[in-house]
Structure 1
Amino acid sequence: MTTQKIAIIGGGVIGLAVARALALQGVQVTLFEQQHIGAGTSSTTFAWVNSNGKQPLSYHQLNALSMEEHVKLQLTQPNGLRWLETCGTWEWAAEGEAQQRLLQRATSLQSLGYPAREVTPDQLQREIPELRRKTVSGAVWHFPTESVLHPALYLARLWSEARAHGVILQQHQAIQRIAEQADGVTLHLENGEQWQGDRVVVATGRWANQLLNTLDVDLALLDTSKPNAVACSFLARTAPQPLSLGANLIAPQLNVRPDGGGRLLLQALELDDLADPAAPPSTQSAIAEQFRERYQSLFADAGELQIEKIVVGQRARPADGLPAIGYVTSEQRVYVAVTHSGITLSPLIGRLVAEELVQDHASDLLADFRPQRLMGRSAGDFAPIKRNFPAAQ
């Protein structure tokens, strides 16, 4: 049997996870990346691994199973490198309606077998001594199986294993167009070269349509080029702070997670309507001052917040919020894998996509997420995505 030749376009978590999984099955894989590994959304994300309120049920199940896949992958890390910290999430809500939504979400998750327990504010303060007790309102919920992930270290794990199994990396290589034939596919590179093989996987996230359009294929994706709180988010990275935080904290005014070496990664979702990818704020801006004020209102004796950088994360997001995974052409030579929650979903999607490509057998877990529902439509054809709980960001 002839070894399959498959190209992956996009060196983020989805592309690398697919490349790794294909290589483990003996496929000859070439990975094309226009910039460098992790240059896109994978490096500008809160990187919270969860299935906390994700709907419909099939999407919840996909995320929950991928959480388990992450844990298995971390357990097989050969050199002790920790890119996944299953530290749990602490969450509370601000006012009556939001508290009721949190209660409904938590109890619904419990009914699905997703670990969630109500704790007292005193229990939370023992975990985070610097927390200002007066800022905690209503019930506090703990989701113990959720994790935070360090994207650069996770990408290193995926790439080291992919490379060890023969994946060829072509960095700083832009693809001009894709051409499909009955017996294969051709990539035309901007430097004039060509790659020919059996199949190609487009895993370029928010840029997917740039290549799919060369095949007269268009997916309904959210526009991330302008302010849009569903598509864009501020992320503030700090210098090391004297804060006793070893878990993910979701509070009404601020989301805070450890980012290694005492550094923190912060979100303030209420501010995201102002998040403009073309104009990320400086560390001396009004947005930076908002982060400082929110930090000081949440914690006492945890240092004056030292922000090193604020970036605007741009999410890869199909217009209905769900993944787009599957073939997009009649000859089934071009496959797309574009999704929000890529950090959470990547290890499972990598394995499932590889199985579909190698075994030519459709996965039941991916049945609800085929790209055809998005093809030839615009984002305006879909109901606006509601962001009424933190994990829907």
Structure 2
Amino acid sequence: MGANTSSVVVVGGGIMGASIAWHLARLGARVTVLEQGSRAASGVTRWSYGWVGTASASASDNPAAFSSTLQAIADFNRLALDLGPLPIAARGAMVWLDNDAQTAALIDQQRSAGVNLQPLDAQQISALEPCMITPPALAAWAPDDFAVEPVALAKMLLSGAEQAGAEVLYGRRVDGIETHNGRVTAARCATQTYAADTVVLANAGAAIGLAAGVGLPLPLLTRPAVLMRFAAPAGVVRHLVYGNGLELRPALEGGVACAEEAPAEGEAGLPALVERTTKAIRQMFIGATALSLRAVSIGHRPMTPEGKPVMGYLAGVEGVYALVAHPGIVLAPHLGRLAAEEIVRTRR
């Protein structure tokens, strides 16, 4: 069995692993990223929706998480300055709830939290979404929210990491973590080990098994969600739209992306869910009769019962660091920066 020497091994080439690898490499760390898929972001990130913003969230349900999300969103501006134009699929989000009173309460609540949210009447909604057949009487408009294509962003970060000196390897499934005298020594794949004094578990729910292999429990669970991608005429949906039981946005490559809760039947329930969703979109937008499914899958979102990120060294084995959070797309630029700074500071 061969061995490669690397100071930091990042397990996972999704959005979280890509972010911490990029930040680590820019801080001068020697980094190797091990991604089990044949390409970047082939796991949970591939089926992430990519809404960056708070317009559909309740500030009062979890004020601490809401505040953290606002802080994290600010990091996207820094990311764009360092990486260049980000893969933004849509700017601006339109949200309406079950009735006007609920929508008005959402606007008031978010404004009180410092979010730029504006009321729109039916005429203003039609101006922004001219293909909408029956606009609601009231919607909340979040001009600062946007949709980013998760896979494209992960690729940008990994490319930037490579330019900063990191090595990114695909088809490398990490089977275990090797230790000696209470500290990490390597990440082990089927035919090769990758020596390291720090191993970062940034591989979403799969981090649970790797941590357990060295006796370290991770307080994570996974919750399923569905992402559908449809081919559709250009301009049918122009912004992030959350209403009438649908969560839609344009896709950067064309067409429409739609997020849904996973059916109780799991994979077996996907055909019926696609049929219902397709019908609902066609009833909502002019031109959507040409809608056709491109892809659908259930992604398993990693999260803690309290909704807090897992970020930090795990007690029990020196040098094992975990970085797993939901929503990963929103939090990755911010948490990747903080985690990289912590790791470099600790190593020094």
Please tell me whether residue 265 in structure 1 is matched to residue 238 in structure 2.
Answer: no
What's the counterpart of residue 239 of structure 1? Answer: 231
What's the counterpart of residue 159 of structure 2? Answer: 160
- Counterpart of 1:121, as a letter, is A
User: What is the percentage of aligned positions where both structures have the same residue?
Assistant: 22
Please tell me whether residue 109 in structure 1 is matched to residue 110 in structure 2.
Answer: yes
Residue of structure 2 aligned with 1:93, choices 67, 72, 97: 97
What's the counterpart of residue 77 of structure 2? Answer: 71
Deviation, 1:129, is: 1.1
Say whether the 8 Å CA contact 2:263–2:269 is kept in structure 1: no
Please tell me whether residue 53 in structure 1 is matched to residue 39 in structure 2.
Answer: no
In structure 2, runs of 5+ residues without a counterpart are: none
Deviation, 1:100, is: 4.3
Q: How does 1:135-214 map to 2 (within 5 A)?
A: 136=136, 138-181=137-180, 184-214=183-213
CA distance in 1, matches of 2:265, 2:44: 15
Give the structure-2-normalised TM-score.
Answer: 0.89
Deviation, 1:156, is: 1.9
- Counterpart of 1:6, as a letter, is V
Report SS of the residue matched to 2:290: coil
- Counterpart of 2:126, as a letter, is Q
Residue of structure 1 aligned with 2:327, choices 341, 346, 352: 341
Deviation, 1:339, is: 0.8
CA distance in 1, matches of 2:175, 2:232: 43
Deviation, 1:257, is: 0.2
Please tell me whether residue 350 in structure 1 is matched to residue 339 in structure 2.
Answer: no
Say whether the 8 Å CA contact 1:240–1:264 is kept in structure 2: yes
> How many residues get paired?
339
CA distance in 2, matches of 1:203, 1:106: 35
Deviates more, 1:327-336 or 1:27-36: 327-336
Report SS of the residue matched to 2:213: helix
CA distance in 2, matches of 1:34, 1:25: 25
CA distance in 1, matches of 2:192, 2:228: 40
In structure 1, runs of 5+ residues without a counterpart are: 224-230, 362-393
Deviation, 1:86, is: 6.0
CA distance in 1, matches of 2:304, 2:31: 26
1:99-153 CA-to-partner distances (Å, cap 9, x unmatched) read: 54443333222112111111112101111111122x52x5210111111011222
- Counterpart of 1:49, as a letter, is V
Say whether the 8 Å CA contact 2:90–2:240 is kept in structure 1: no
Report SS of the residue matched to 1:21: helix
Residue of structure 2 aligned with 1:11, choices 2, 10, 13: 13
Deviation, 1:28, is: 0.5
1:204-247 CA-to-partner distances (Å, cap 9, x unmatched) read: 10111110011112223224xxxxxxx22222211132434321
Say whether the 8 Å CA contact 1:234–1:267 is kept in structure 2: yes
What's the counterpart of residue 318 of structure 1? Answer: 304
- Counterpart of 2:25, as a letter, is A
Report SS of the residue matched to 2:263: helix
What's the counterpart of residue 83 of structure 1? Answer: 87
Deviation, 1:260, is: 2.1
What's the counterpart of residue 365 of structure 1? Answer: none
RMSD between superposed Cα atoms in Å: 2.4
Gap change, CA 1:85 and 1:310, over 3 Å in 2: closer
CA distance in 1, matches of 2:33, 2:246: 37
Deviation, 1:348, is: 0.7
CA distance in 2, matches of 1:179, 1:241: 52
Deviation, 1:32, is: 1.1
Say whether the 8 Å CA contact 1:19–1:31 is kept in structure 2: yes
Report SS of the residue matched to 1:88: strand
Say whether the 8 Å CA contact 2:187–2:196 is kept in structure 1: no
- Counterpart of 1:237, as a letter, is R
CA distance in 2, matches of 1:256, 1:86: 11
Say whether the 8 Å CA contact 1:235–1:266 is kept in structure 2: yes
What's the counterpart of residue 31 of structure 2? Answer: 29
Please tell me whether residue 42 in structure 1 is matched to residue 45 in structure 2.
Answer: yes
CA distance in 1, matches of 2:94, 2:22: 33
Report SS of the residue matched to 1:348: helix
What's the counterpart of residue 119 of structure 1? Answer: 120
- Counterpart of 1:32, as a letter, is L
Say whether the 8 Å CA contact 2:89–2:252 is kept in structure 1: no
- Counterpart of 2:47, as a letter, is T
Deviates more, 1:182-191 or 1:304-313: 182-191
CA distance in 2, matches of 1:75, 1:26: 19
Say whether the 8 Å CA contact 1:5–1:198 is kept in structure 2: yes
CA distance in 1, matches of 2:157, 2:193: 26
Say whether the 8 Å CA contact 2:6–2:195 is kept in structure 1: no
What's the counterpart of residue 387 of structure 1? Answer: none
Report SS of the residue matched to 1:132: coil
User: Which structure shows the bigger proportion of residues in strand conformation?
Assistant: 2
